[in-house]
A and B are shown apart, each in its own frame.
Chain A
Amino acid sequence: MNALDIIQLIVSSSLIYAAPLILTALGGTFSERSGVVNIGLEGIMVMGAFMSAVFNIQFAAAFGGWTPWIGLIAGGLIGVLFSIIHAVATINLRADHIISGTVINLAAPAIGVFLTRAIFGAAQTGPLPESFGRTNIFLLDRIPIIGPIFFENTSGPAYFGIILAVVAWFVLFKTRFGLRLRSVGEHPHAAETLGIKVYVMKYSGVLLSGLLGGMGGAIQAQAISNEFGILTIAGQGFIAMAAMIFGKWNPLGVMGAAIFFGFAQSLARIGTYIPIIQDIPAIWLLVMPYLLTILVLVGVIGRAEAPARLGTTYIKSR
């Protein structure tokens, strides 16, 4: 392989592995900015992956090439539905956020596989008829050198995620909704005295995490695994959490971290083709995202500043 091929391979496979992480990590960012810890992202991804796989198989004939994109929406919607459990438990029923998230993570694979068996009579769906595959980004792929590296034969969902990250940044930091959402994560009581509906904002945060986490799962199923089974989502939700922390709860940083972790994950798989990297034991590439996240939290790589009231239950005054 020549240098250009290698770079092209690294970039495209990084983006493919990064795509589910970007969306899910952005979801986590919305939830945590509203003050709700969501370690249930893993479970939400499982549900999104399950739903998109079912949709893909059932409706591939009807929608053809558009199937995975509509499957993405289906995955997002089931994610919203599932995140309602987390919202009700943590916001209304005052459950501990970690316990509720653990419940989500316990329940999701069970429900996903239960339903898969109920529908398909087996623990896996089998291969999906329409996957995301690789796409060329319209026009941009014609730019010399940059085009082939970044925009040819690449991951459509990843670019969707990158656009979403910019939108999410704008929403969080430039809009009324974002200001209110962040105020609830920082000082819910102050927000309440100013007439902001604290519960509504928290619900928005958690449900957005459901939407984006479900979509992340859908990408994992339709672009990487190409099926749904118990191993389709194996820790990606937690890596997304890691990316959220590594990106310091800022959508652009989060996106960057997700791409970096996607790069690390892809290296563990394609590293054998690449000089230098092929000499690094794969184990280091596999555990790098986790260790880096710990280092960030410890403060070795800058301080990670979480929302001030993250993980606490807010009880209305009334």
Chain B
Amino acid sequence: MQLIRQHKTWLNNLLVPVLSIVFGFIFGAILMVAFGYNPIIAYDAMISGVFASPYFIGEALRQATALTFTGLGFALAFKAGFFNIGIAGQALVGWVSAIWFALSFPDLPRILLVTLSLGVGAIIGALWASIAGFLRAYFGTSEVIVTIMLNYTALQLTNFLIRDVLSESGNTTESVGENASLSIGWLSTLTQSSRLNLGFFIAMAVVILYWIFMTRTTAGFEIRAVGLNPHASTYAGMSAEKNIILSMFLSGALAGLGGAIHGLGTFGNIFTQGGLPDIGFNGIAVALLGLSNPIGIFFSSILFGVLDIGAGFMPNRAGVPDEMADIVTSAIIFFVGANYIIRYFVDKRAAKKEAASSTKGGDV
């Protein structure tokens, strides 16, 4: 009985994201119909476009790679009770610092240069996020506002670095050398020279490490405890300050690593940005849809990766602007965020069933 009930809550938990995805796609379809597009052709173009060719599967997984990191980053802080809205900025500083490092030491051996470049990206992202963690821990400053402000600071700072430090008033940096490349020969061949790279395997490893860290270590236990009840955790001798800063540090490290892998793996350089990189806020979406569970985040990333790459097929094949994919994404997250309505109906149905079965029981 016990097992069945726990199984049931697990199913119910899964129900929210699955129904949200369904509702999100339905919402997109309604919008398309309203503007005279055919949603079936559009969704078909999106999905068959990606899955018809190894190249686009590779590209979708490449996009998913970056989202897995930013998603895990957001989730870690979220578990500790904080909204790290600054994922985008942390990814951006991770990106620019990894490129900067790779450009500065082009002659290091590949294994060293790749490791160090990614490491630098992670550390800079971590330190950037730690500013918000530090202010929250010692001044009680809202991490939401601080990370928002740091996002735009990061954006301006990055563009400044690209123009004034990494290039001569240009809008892009040089490309990094071969030794900083993340590409893997057989993987590129397999996916018909897509930009899918080593980062994908690092992402899978990090998903597992994240799970072990959160559920099996004392540090993860403390982060979860502080997130669920900071008062009781402090009383039990955990340091709220330490855990706030640690969780923001790790969250920023994941985002920075994601940015570094995105930069080295996808582009090999950095260029001035008009706005914050999409992988930031989409990473938040991924974490919310994945309910902050690492496996959930991994699969959400793949879904969003497919949506993102598949969107490119919609204008030509269905005449639908590719922004449709982003609209579907935001609709999905709306339903996840407002899951009260889904839970309300699920609980109501469950209550009805229970009431029905208990009256039956009463008759006997």
A and B touching (C-beta < 8 Å)? yes
Interface residues of A (CB under 8 A from B): 37, 39, 85, 88-89, 93-96, 98-100, 102-103, 105-107, 109-111, 113-115, 117-118, 230-231, 234-235, 238-239, 241-242, 245, 281-283, 286-287, 290-291, 293-294, 297-299
Query: Which residues of chain A are near B177, meaning CB under 8 Å?
Result: none
Smallest Cβ distance from B133 to chain A, in angstroms? 13
B142 touches A110 (CB 8 A): no
A230 touches B275 (CB 8 A): yes
B156 touches A287 (CB 8 A): yes
A241 touches B148 (CB 8 A): yes
Q: How far is the CA of A174 from the CA of B330 in the complex (A)?
A: 39
- Contact for B281 among A105, A234, A282, A297, CB less than 8 A: A105
Q: Do A242 and B323 contact each other (CB < 8 Å), given the known contacts A98-B144, A102-B333?
A: no
CB proximity to A under 8 Å, residues B46-103:
83, 85
Q: Do A89 and B135 contact each other (CB < 8 Å), given the known contacts A98-B85, A114-B324?
A: no
Q: Do A98 and B83 contact each other (CB < 8 Å), given the known contacts A114-B323, A230-B274?
A: yes
Q: A107-B331, A110-B323 are in contact. List 11 more A-B contacts (CB 8 A).
A: A89-B337, A103-B334, A110-B329, A113-B323, A117-B321, A230-B274, A234-B275, A238-B149, A291-B149, A291-B153, A298-B135
Query: Which residues of chain A are near B149, meaning CB under 8 Å?
Result: 238, 242, 290-291, 293-294
Smallest Cβ distance from A150 to chain B, in angstroms? 29
Q: How far is the CA of A224 from the CA of B242 in the complex (A)?
A: 45
Query: Which residues of chain A are near B153, meaning CB under 8 Å?
Result: 287, 290-291
CB proximity to A under 8 Å, residues B121-165:
135, 139, 141-142, 144-146, 148-153, 155-157, 160
A109 touches B326 (CB 8 A): yes
**Size band of the interface chain B makes with A:** 35 or more
CB proximity to A under 8 Å, residues B271-308:
274-275, 281-282, 284-285, 288
Q: Do A294 and B141 contact each other (CB < 8 Å), given the known contacts A89-B337, A287-B152?
A: yes
Smallest Cβ distance from B25 to chain A, in angstroms? 15
> Can you show 25 pairs from A to B with CB atoms below 8 A apart?
A95-B334, A95-B338, A99-B333, A102-B284, A105-B281, A106-B330, A107-B331, A110-B325, A111-B323, A230-B275, A235-B152, A238-B152, A241-B145, A283-B156, A283-B157, A286-B160, A287-B157, A290-B152, A290-B153, A294-B141, A297-B139, A297-B141, A297-B146, A298-B135, A299-B139
Query: Which residues of chain A are near B330, meaning CB under 8 Å?
Result: 103, 106-107, 110
Query: Which residues of chain B are near A230, meaning CB under 8 Å?
Result: 274-275
A286 touches B156 (CB 8 A): yes
B340 touches A298 (CB 8 A): no
B274 touches A95 (CB 8 A): no
Smallest Cβ distance from B70 to chain A, in angstroms? 13
Q: How far is the CA of A36 from the CA of B73 in the complex (A)?
A: 26
Smallest Cβ distance from B314 to chain A, in angstroms? 10
Cβ of B10 under 8 Å from chain A:
no
